[in-house]
Amino acid sequence: MLTVPQAARRLAKNPETIRRWIRSGRLPARKVGTQHVIEEEDLDRLQGAEVLPLPESWTRTWTGEPMPNWVSIVRQERDEH
């Protein structure tokens, strides 16, 4: 069993993302006291889930160049601070 922070570290996600997945029903969890706990098998199942492809119009800029990876740019900026 994993706590929300442990699951977040394992998936390299923010703990609030894990909590949102629990609230939405995407990730099954039980409550023990005030904390949610997650079965490792459920986390592994979620980790192996397929990611939907982006629409073709989102992969290129209006000039036809490949779209920048904004997530990686923002993360790099945050790491530099």
| Domains of the chain and any CATH numbers | 2-49+57-80 (1.10.1660)
Q: Does 79 score more than 90 pLDDT?
A: no
CB within 8 A of 8, min separation 6: which ones?
A: 14, 15, 17, 18
At residue 49 the predicted structure's pLDDT band, cuts being 50, 70 and 90, is low
What pLDDT does 5 receive? 96
What sign has the CA pseudo-torsion 60, 66, 71, 77?
negative
The answer to pTM > 0.75 is no
What pLDDT does 51 receive? 62
Express as a percent the part of the chain with pLDDT over 90: 60
At residue 71 the predicted structure's pLDDT band, cuts being 50, 70 and 90, is confident
